[in-house]
Amino acid sequence: GLLSLCCALMLFASCGKRIPKSDAVAIVPKPVSEQLSDSTFDLTKRTRIRLLADDSTLLRSTDFFNGVVSKAFGKGLYVAQGGQAQKDAINVRLDDSLPSEGYTLLITPDSIDIAGGSPAGVFYAFQSLRQLLPAAALAGERARVIELPAVEIRDEPHFAYRGAMLDACRHFFKPDEVKEYLDLLALHKINRFHWHLTDDQGWRIEIKKYPELTTVGSVREKDLLTNVLDTVRKFDENPYGGFYTQDQIRDIVKYAADRFITVIPEIEMPGHATAALAAYPYLGCVGKDYKVTTLYGIQEDAFCAGKDSTFGFLEDVLSEVIDLFPSEYIHIGGDECMKNRWKECPHCQQRIRDEHLKNETELQSYFVHRIDQFMSSKGRRIIGWDEILEGGDLSRNAAVMSWRGTQGGIAGAKRGNEVVMSPYTYCYLDYYQTADTAGEPLAYGNCLPVDSVYKFDPYAGLTPAEQKYILGVQANLWTEYIRDLDYLEYMTLPRLAAIAEIGWTYGGKDYADFSDRMHSLAKVYDAEGYKYGKHMFVPET
């Protein structure tokens, strides 16, 4: 009797404790396949990480994961290089036969085995592993043993481009805040950070050749909301400003690369250029005393498309930008350019005649072409808002970012341009998260709840052949109303998770299942102290 009870107990102990199936594996974005067994692996501070491939970029993943587990263990796991896969270890290897960002994650009572198609795949395996940690361990409650469910996961992203944009112009976010944002992206396996660095309301990137871009262009007389609403007066900061030095930018680019995120900078042209004109008035069409804009909305002024000096300036700026950002794509804006100044500008009208253009829309296309040729000569490609399709034959080398719905993206894909889908109808995180706006922080008028975001299909309206041109999807965070990190997080989460799942998992979408898994992801949000919209976590009544 007693003997068999002992045997049973030992058997039970060796198999590990049962973790209820329902919440054992709740990863966002949803992995391609997962097979759960009824046992566990005991992670302790003596568990070693064993790197079986000689690639120093694997340390980006182990450093990151050690940052997470050291909260519970008081220290990170020992990382050993080389040798053989071992018991009681997290064995990490690279496997060429896997898709480059793909991975397998096998947890058994004996060991954790990770294989990545590349170091990025390994990073994503560790992000999934992180989401399997119990809430207490994530929150930093001291633990001797962290039980992980035995599971076999095979995973790979559907889209190569899974992006998020942050507008650092309407409000400025300090380097450390940008890093926090990058951490949010990494958790969701987002791999592109589109950094909106120049706009009417501020120029935020140091350019050595043109110091006044930042001494003048990064400062505005008062904050955007100063005269708009009494309720926000307490935030007033007059004058308002900020910019990133080139050293800070290099540091952020590296921080992003450590998380397998490519930074795509945006230098806006020909519109949204008032801050640059305030610094160097010769860049505009009318000789006037430009001021960095203190209101939001579309401005009348643009870079003059008639003067060669404008292009000289932009080529100088882009040359410095290229040196800072290794990204293949550089974003050149292109949206919402008012053409009234060009209509009255002798230089622009002369250009229209010289180039045999019909009108100002064709002049914008000329502008984009000229910048495209310069960037191509430097071995880079341009990406721009969907207006870059207007007024001419956009180079096939350029990519289109579709924001005014998906029409621009569809048109781009049909003619063979690569496309990132980022329509305001699904991807704009500056909109309210709920129709019931009482008690919500002030936001841009529209309402875009997380379940609506989740419905987005980047392929809608495209044939299979055209779908190949869709690089992926991107969330946009415009910051007219968003002035601090708490608010930034609140607007980003949980809607970013819905975008991430569209980008990573594509297909087989099930909102109820997503919503269940989000309850689990929320434990990571809580552990990290992230602010987030709670609407989807409140049971419907």
Nearer to ligand TNX among residue 335 and residue 484 (C-beta): 335
Nearer to ligand TNX among residue 62 and residue 474 (C-beta): 474
Nearer to ligand TNX among residue 266 and residue 501 (C-beta): 266
Binding mask 329-348 for ligand TNX (x = CB under 6 A): ------xx------------
From the CB of 439, what's the least distance to ligand TNX, in Å?
Answer: 22
Q: Are 314 and 334 in contact (CB under 8 A)?
A: no
Helix (H) or strand (E) holding 220: strand 219-220
Binding mask 416-435 for ligand TNX (x = CB under 6 A): ------------x-x-----
Active site positions, annotated? 336
From the CB of 88, what's the least distance to ligand TNX, in Å?
Answer: 51
Three-state secondary structure along 34-76?
A: EEEEEEEEEEECCCEEEECCCCCCHHHHHHHHHHHHHHHHCCC
Helix (H) or strand (E) holding 341: helix 340-344
Contact call for residue 385 and ligand TNX (CB under 6 A)? yes
Structure tokens that stand for 187 in this block: 């958790």
From the CB of 323, what's the least distance to ligand TNX, in Å?
Answer: 26
Coil, helix or strand at residue 272: coil
From the CB of 262, what's the least distance to ligand TNX, in Å?
Answer: 20
Nearer to ligand TNX among residue 104 and residue 293 (C-beta): 293
From the CB of 467, what's the least distance to ligand TNX, in Å?
Answer: 23
From the CB of 242, what's the least distance to ligand TNX, in Å?
Answer: 18
**Which of 203, 329, 403, 454 lies at the binding interface for ligand TNX (CB under 6 A)?**
403
Binding mask 453-492 for ligand TNX (x = CB under 6 A): -------------------------x-x------------
Query: What whole-number distance in Å separates Cα of residue 97 and Cα of residue 102?
Result: 10
From the CB of 332, what's the least distance to ligand TNX, in Å?
Answer: 12
Contact call for residue 177 and ligand TNX (CB under 6 A)? no
**Which of 172, 260, 444, 469 lies at the binding interface for ligand TNX (CB under 6 A)?**
444
Contacts 24+ apart (CB under 8 A), 324-327: 324/246, 324/249, 324/250, 324/253, 324/265, 325/249, 325/253, 325/263, 325/264, 325/265, 326/253, 326/262, 327/262, 327/263, 327/264, 327/265, 327/380
For the chain, helix, strand, coil in percent to 5 are 40, 20, 40
How many residues bind to ligand TNX according to rule CB under 6 A?
9
Nearer to ligand TNX among residue 122 and residue 400 (C-beta): 400
- Which residues does residue 240 pair with via DSSP β-bridges, in sequence order? 220
Which residues, 6+ apart, have CB-to-CB distance to 15 below 8 Å? 38, 39, 109
Structure tokens that stand for 129 in this block: 């592993």
Nearer to ligand TNX among residue 342 and residue 478 (C-beta): 478
Nearer to ligand TNX among residue 453 and residue 522 (C-beta): 453
Q: Which residue in 234, 227, 241 sits closest to 170, CA to CA?
A: 241
Structure tokens that stand for 342 in this block: 């060009």
Nearer to ligand TNX among residue 337 and residue 497 (C-beta): 337
From the CB of 384, what's the least distance to ligand TNX, in Å?
Answer: 9
Binding mask 260-289 for ligand TNX (x = CB under 6 A): ------------------------------
Q: Are 193 and 166 in contact (CB under 8 A)?
A: yes
Contact call for residue 506 and ligand TNX (CB under 6 A)? no
Query: What whole-number distance in Å separates Cα of residue 74 and Cα of residue 370?
Result: 56
From the CB of 181, what's the least distance to ligand TNX, in Å?
Answer: 17
From the CB of 382, what's the least distance to ligand TNX, in Å?
Answer: 15
DSSP 107-123: E-SS-EEEEESSHHHHH
Label residues 273-290 b or e (16+ Cβ within 10 Å = b): bbbbbbbbeebbbeeeeb
Query: What whole-number distance in Å separates Cα of residue 93 and Cα of residue 82?
Result: 10
Nearer to ligand TNX among residue 121 and residue 265 (C-beta): 265
Q: Are 376 and 387 in contact (CB under 8 A)?
A: no
Query: What whole-number distance in Å separates Cα of residue 386 and Cα of residue 402?
Result: 5
**Of residues 348-377, those binding ligand TNX (CB under 6 A):** none
How many CA atoms does the CB half-sphere of 457 hold within 13 Å?
9
Nearer to ligand TNX among residue 152 and residue 335 (C-beta): 335
What are the backbone dihedrals phi and psi of residue 462, each rounded to the nearest 5 degrees, phi first? -125, 145
Other CB atoms closer than 10 Å to residue 486's CB: what's the count? 13
The binding site for ligand TNX (CB under 6 A) comprises 335-336, 385, 403, 428, 430, 444, 478, 480
